[in-house]
Structure 1
Amino acid sequence: MQRRQFLQYSLATLAAGAMAGWIAPAQARGLPGESRTDAAAFRAMRRYAELPFGRIAYADRGRGKAALFLHGAPLNSYQWGGAIDRLAAHRRCIAPDLMGLGYSEVHENQALGAADQVAMLAALLDKLSIRGVDIVASDCGTAIAQLFLVRYPERVRTLLLTNGDVEIDSPPAKVQPAIDMARKGTLADATAQWLTDRSLARATFGASVFHDPSRFADATIDYYVTPLVSTPLRRKQYHAFHLALEPNPLAGIEAKLQRSQVPVRMVWGASDDIFAMGDAEYLDRVFPRSRGIRRVAEGKLFFQEEYPEVIAAEAMHLWGLA
């Protein structure tokens, strides 16, 4: 039963990794005829920063004020490729791979909890001589964004939060089977199946977190999964990342968020059954300067991949550029 639950939806958080690249990228919604940067091109643009935590992979495109994009699990910075394509003309877009995910290479005993990710992000911004940022976040990245705001309120101009953890729902119940598999040491093996059975990824994982899972590209599945299972250390860290989701990293944060004066906008996939609309409504009540909620009717957990034009439009409006 545990494996069945895992295949049905708990690896919805894994499923998103397979979905970032479209088989027909020229059909990207909102920009007719304009292609999204594919996985190979994104790989070629990847940079690394040597930090005390290890060698952190990140994307860096555009110029001007900086925007920081925080991905979900088990994705990496490529999750935001479509949004960055649309926003790089207006912001310097920084999209790191979180420790334990993607192509970041961290030290063997490096802690991978949300607070540790916050410390890494601050060090990365310092390395890049970036002081203030507009944050765009998804899934576990949404939790990290809130913690970053509390730890470094002077460094955050705005928050654009999509389906992800809130204090009253972290980790969500449907992620628990994945955490249990990480504890047993079987999560990496299950994820590695995507590399040999991509139709399984599309039929099960994809259906859980995308409106149209048929548009996965094989190259994108490879781009997300390969680093997670590439070595025994990476597999161990992949498990450790999930184990660090407990206990709730946001416990006690509500009172601090209530004192924030940062403008916040929620953009939420209304068809997601992992982070329900009630989580967005909770954030809308908590943040004093909430700019409300945009509901994406067909959006599931990782709708940002399918509707990058929605992310771009909402970011532009929040940033006062539209």
Structure 2
Amino acid sequence: MERPRAGIELQGSVLRYAELERQEARYHLLRLGSCDFDFDVVAELQSQAPRYLDVVAEALCDVLSGTRASEIEVALHPLQVLTFGSLQPEPIDPGVLHQRLIAESVWLSGQEATVFRLYFESGWVQTLPEGERLRWYQVLVLPAHVEQNLAQVLRRAPCSAFRIRLSTAGVAKTLSRMPGPEPGLPPEVGLAIGCYETHTEYTLCRRGSWMLSHYMQGPAANASYFSLALLHKLGLAAGMVEQLMLYGTHVTDTLMEALRPLFPVEPVRLNPLVLTTLDPRSLASSFEVEAYVPCIGVALS
């Protein structure tokens, strides 16, 4: 039997958390909630001289007390770290892949490889007309001191092992598990838009596999333009989108209305709790479930 999985998400002054246990095709929700701090927890983790790591660690210990998870999946938003998509030959030697991604990270960050930690996840494999196969990799470049600050916090948690993930990795996992237009078949193209006060995230899945994510600073006023730009970059058309979902802390009806004429499907709020056994009536009507997509998503097995 699979062990439960715990996920946390850090965004501004809020830490959101979830713990899930897989039960056949669905998940049992063991815990879900948030901690609000009177300081920016992300800025604290990014600081070279942090002052409140003990406060964050104590809060995390409280909310995860009694967990049976052996590892914490930590979701960071792309605004908080350097992130990029990379196309590489398929197949490729793991050592060669790592060196290539390190070289790209050095070039994009302007820093030596000794000052950051590299994390990456693989996604969609596409075949070019001439038969060459390429795989997308989503790369996260984390400053070494931020990883050290996270480790200091997480060492005191009930499960001290942790893995750093992008928030969009959790979104892609959630999107790939949502029911498509045809039973048993993933959507041809699924698009999720993350709406936050500080930035907007875009995640695209192709036939259930994570293809690419990117983000833009600022709120989602121009989400229509950047959604179409992402599709164009990948050689896809708006008419291919069979799933359009919004999540985050600033999803608005105005944005949904602006997106409606561009795609053949209705935009909806992404509710990850439909993947669980939780009765939706047990939550208060004011509970913003779409804000929990990243932390629930990284906890999905």
* Superposition TM-score, scaled by structure 1 size: 0.30
Larger Rg: 2
Which structure's relative contact order is higher, taking Cα pairs within 8 Å and 6+ residues apart?
1
* Superposition TM-score, scaled by structure 2 size: 0.32
